[in-house]
Structure 1
Amino acid sequence: KVVKELEYYTKGTTGLPRGVGKLRIVDATHIPLPPILSEWAYVTKGWTVVKMHTRLIVASPDVHYPDKIVPSNGKVQDHEGGDLLIEESDATYVMDRGYMDLYRMNEWIKKDINFVVRLRGKLVERVIEEYEVPEGSNIQRDVKVILGETGKMRPIRLVEFLDEEGKVYRL
């Protein structure tokens, strides 16, 4: 009921400025449990946890709230929990590497679900278009690619950039 009220009061919000719009941030966190009381949550020796998969709505720069939380045992992968949190909307989903799954990403593209996900490791990619990178920018590469070895993925935008310490990120 509280979430429905929040949705009602934030219906007219446009999200973040400069064309960013509404965001839905998806992440999961582990909650450790005492092993003696929670055999049902056993993951590995010394690691007994439940996981809270959470979707946070960013309705404006000053208004953000969790609108959906899905509990699971610690063995459920982040991208599996994401199946219950990522749905068609006018927002852009923001996720970490745990949600990177080529099949799921392809399904989101088919459904016109906007998303930004940090990519894991080195993926096979075939560049189909390159975009101009502003000179002096921390952006190293901006391309449209097809990810994966099979070549069955739909085209997706890939941006590589450096953070302040020189670490490369791929989104």
Structure 2
Amino acid sequence: MDKITRKNSFGQWFSPINSHLFEEQVKTLKLDFYTKKLTTESFLKLFLFAQLQEIESLHALSDSLFNDQLQKEINLDSISISQLSRRLNGLNPDLFQRLFLDLVSQIHAKTHYTKLVMPLKIIDSSTLPLNLTNHRWAKFRKTKAGVKLHLRLVFMEKGISYPEKAIMTTAKEHDRNQLEIMADDKECMYVFDRGYLDYERFDRMTDDGFFFLTRLRKNAVIREVCDFKLPEGTTVLSDQMVIIGTIQNRAENYFRLLKVMDSKGNLLHLITNRFDLSAEEISEMYKSRWAIELFFKWIKQHLNIKKFYGQSDWAIQNKVFIVLIVFCLHVLAQIETKSKRKTLQISRYLRAALWKPAHIWLRKIEGKAIP
């Protein structure tokens, strides 16, 4: 990250946003046609600011423009709640999805994401509840509404985890329907939970050269083919080659079944199509699945994703992708400064030094003394 800069901390944090891509998308999607006041750039900066400050409503966001420094940053001195609402509901979320994917590609490049490394990619989803009265288009139960965020998280060494692909659907959508969309890279190992169980898809993934690791249900029908010898001192209870499924509904390929105990003493049946790794390595890989659970918990707690500013499908998607952009910007700051600080600490320091010179924030997250 550029250490010699006259930017304030917010400007420095915002700088990885690809301005060329942004302008190209705004022009292609015609987002600033007939816009006199709240341009798309001002909108993006304002709503990134809202996420950083955990602002809970459009009323509070409109009032925040009383701040002179925020006015200067977004080139706007006031905005009505109705204008904010119209812009939020009318902006095509494709823009923010493209910006998110561009930031992901920057993280790939800066974490030496190459074909020489086979990272783990964890797939899972989280349902975000909505008020049924205001979001009838997202109804999925008699008294409930919601959307589902389907996510693929890259889990690499040195504790770096970041979202790589995100798809928004209504909460009715079953996880299994998204597996083939999420699994599109053969140079990795996919880890996912029982919600994605589908023997036919497991066969297709294996035949097409995709590697995966998941957990079987307790009542799954299994036929043992052979036992693999376990080394002494292993925590794995058994390691077998098996056929899964009944005669009417079974997988055609052979798979590897491991039985392990989790930290709470529960017996887990892990199934994979990898036979080249040790039983302990497979077991450790499955433990990494908790990274995506922690990610969902983190964004719900700290990035204000529980409360949405709008009621339309586009408004919900815009909010979610802006949240993912915020997280990626934190990760890029962490990588660029080689900081050992957690993303939560980086966010807190940024809020405290938002309009101060960037070097103050950079030195703080690097762990250096501020002169």
TM over 0.5: yes
Partner letter of residue 156 of structure 1? Answer: F
SS at match of 2:156: strand
In structure 2, list runs of 5 or more residues that go unmatched.
Answer: 1-101, 271-371
1:166 aligns with 2:265: yes
Question: What stretches of structure 1 of length at least 5 have no aligned partner?
Answer: 16-20
Q: Which amino acid aligns with 2:106?
A: E
For residue 66 of structure 1, what is the aligned residue in structure 2? 163
Deviations 1:26-76 (A, max 9, x none): 000000000011111111122211000000012322322111000011111
Partner of 2:235: 138
Once superposed, what is the RMSD of the aligned Cα atoms?
1.8
TM-score, normalisation: structure 2: 0.42
More strand by share: 1
- Larger radius of gyration between Structure 1 and Structure 2: 2
Deviation readout 1:90-116 (Å, 9 max, x if unpaired): 111110110111111111111121111
Select which of 86, 107, 112 maps to 1:6.
107
Q: 1:124–1:148: 8 Å Cα contact kept in structure 2?
A: yes
Q: Map 1:1-171; keep pairs closer than 5 Å.
A: 1-12=102-113, 21-150=118-247, 151-171=250-270
Matched residue type, 1:8: A
Q: TM-score by structure 1 length?
A: 0.88
Conserved? CA contact 2:175–2:195, under 8 Å: yes
Greater RCO, 1 or 2 (C-alpha within 8 Å, sep 6+): 2
Provide the residue aligned with 1:18 in structure 2.
none
**Contact 2:202–2:251 at 8 Å: present in 1 too?**
no
Whose helix fraction is larger, Structure 1's or Structure 2's?
A: 2
Structure 1 counterpart SS, 2:252: coil
Deviation at 1:138?
A: 3.0
Which is worse superposed, 119-128 or 90-99? 119-128
Distance 1:9 1:164, change over 3 A: closer
Amino acid of the structure 1 residue aligned with 2:103 = V
Equivalenced residues, count: 166
Partners of 2:144 and 2:217 lie apart in 1 by: 24
% identity of equivalent residues: 28
* Amino acid of the structure 2 residue aligned with 1:4: S
Of 133-142 and 58-67, the range deviating more from structure 2 = 133-142
Q: Secondary structure at the match of 2:133?
A: helix
The alpha carbon displacement at 1:136 in A equals 4.7
